[in-house]
Amino acid sequence: MPKATNYQPKSRRKAAESVRTLIPRAQIQKRIVEMAQEIRRDFPTEHLHLVGVLKGSVFFLADLARQITGQLSLDFIAVSSYGSKTHSSGEVKLTRDLDSSIEGKTVIVVEDILDTGMTLQYLLRVFEQRKPRRLRVAVLLDKPERRLAKVRADYVGFTIPNEFVVGYGLDYSERYRNLADVGVLTLGTKIKKS
């Protein structure tokens, strides 16, 4: 006879995740226009080389690039630091390098969010060795409370509280990137009634 159990089997549990809007899409777009102007004001005549950090920055980079006037080129780099959890392991690994050299270029690193800063610290070290003419950082979101590494962004879209956010490129286990707004993710485990 099977043993009696006092727990719900995994299949009966349903994760009750929910997302509460933090920054609506219109506000994001408005801020991006301003950021593009700030960047161009700082470098009025220069060819700007935007380096997007995959994958979280793709929507931000696409919208930002289209708001920057004048000459511009794009490249991408990918790092992994988070796995599928909501907390950083602190370990950063380069998983896809740039296509072209950044030597002598005015580089703007485009990141979705500055959290502990470990990713950016790693990237800035890598890029500085490659002798760009100038190296700047643009992030959509900044969570200063979580900072461990001594890094800062030159252009910040929004400073946000210490909460896990998704949407507009930001993911939780690769999900929610396609939301047009940025929202706070709440995780919860609800026991499904049979």
Q: What angle do the packed helices 58-67 and 25-42 form, to 10 degrees? A: 60
User: Per rule CB under 6 A, is residue 183 in the interface with ligand IMP?
Assistant: no
Which residue in the shown chain puts its C-beta closest to Mg ion? 56
CA dist 153 and 142 (Å) reads 8
55 preceded by cis ω (within 30°)? yes
Contact region for Mg ion (CB under 5 A) — 1-9, 49-57, 95-103, 126-134?
Answer: 49-57
112 scored as a contact of ligand IMP (CB under 6 A): yes
- Torsion, CA 72, CA 126, CA 103, CA 101, rounded to 10: -70
Give dist(CA 42, CA 103) in Å, integer: 20
Query: For 68, which DSSP code?
Result: S
Question: Per rule CB under 6 A, is residue 118 in the interface with ligand IMP?
Answer: yes
Which of Mg ion, ligand IMP, none does residue 81 bind (CB under 5 to 8 Å by kind)?
Answer: ligand IMP
Pick 46 or 88: Cβ nearer Mg ion: 88
Residue of 63, 115, 142, 171 with catalytic role: 115
CB of 81 to ligand IMP, least distance (A): 5
Q: Which two tokens stand for residue 139?
A: 């992030």
Cα–Cα dist 141/157, whole Å: 6
Q: Does 123 bind ligand IMP (CB under 6 A)?
A: no
Using CB under 6 A as the criterion, which residues of the chain lie in contact with ligand IMP when the complex forms?
A: 56, 81-82, 88, 111-120, 164-166, 170
Would you name the residues annotated as active-site residues?
115
